Amino acid sequence: MTRFLACFSVLLFCSVAVGQTPAAAPAQSAATTAESPEVREFQKIEDTWSGAVNQRDQYSLELVLSPLFVDVAATGDITTRNQQVANLITGEDKTMHLAQRVITVRMLGDIAVANGTYVLHHKINSSQVDEKGVFTHVFERVRGGWLCINSQRTVLREDSNAKSKKQSNGEMPFHIPLFTRSDKKDQ
């Protein structure tokens, strides 16, 4: 009987160990992992776009942007592909530099939506600024390739840790408006 229990315990332990192998772990969705083929493919497209802006390369920019392209900048300015190319060629800011990183890609047939982060180094009123933000780019599959038809950028808020935090009052560590006196005078 002891031998039977020992063999049964070993078999039970082995079956549990086999069931716990990493191969049995649920796989992550391809759309959310950084290693997905879609993220790598669209990162190459975003690198081409950034390279075109950084090198002032009109031809490379035209290969990424659709003739129907509309851009909504973080400032709210709306431009077309032709305006983007014209600004690239005639732009006064020769120090402008763009870096983009794709985070997720969602495939919707012949449409793809890429989300990511960006850093845009540029001038504002003769001072250099690093604008950090997030983007959403909508791509359309055209003749076996991808062209961006829409771009939306949003600037991230500055880190508020630089502001000094208000010291708490040891007597009253928090404020409940109905039950404690207010710091403000009656108005």
pLDDT tens for each residue of 3-14:
555 554 555 444
Q: How many CB atoms lie within 10 A of CB 173?
A: 7
Could you tell me the pLDDT band of residue 177, with boundaries at 50, 70 and 90? low
Within a domain: residue 187? Answer: no
Residue 176, pLDDT > 90, answer: no
pLDDT of 92: 77
Q: What is the pTM of this model?
A: 0.65
- Start-to-end C-alpha separation, the chain: 87
Could you tell me which residue, 137 or 90, shows the higher pLDDT? 137
Q: Which residues pair with 135 in a beta bridge?
A: 116, 153
Whether residue 177 is contained in a domain is answered as no
Q: Which domain covers residue 52, as residue numbers?
A: 37-156
The residues that bridge with 122 in the sheet, in sequence order, are 129
7 is a domain residue: no
Q: State the burial class of residue 133 (Cβ atoms within 10 Å of its Cβ: 0-12, 13-18, 19+).
A: middle
Instruction: Please report whether residue 53 resides in a domain.
Output: yes
Q: Label residue 180 left, alpha or beta by phi (over 0 means left) and psi (-120 to 50 means alpha).
A: beta
What CATH number is given to the structural domain containing 144? Answer: 3.10.450.50
- The whole-number pLDDT of residue 23 equals 46
Instruction: Say what the pLDDT of residue 145 is.
Output: 95
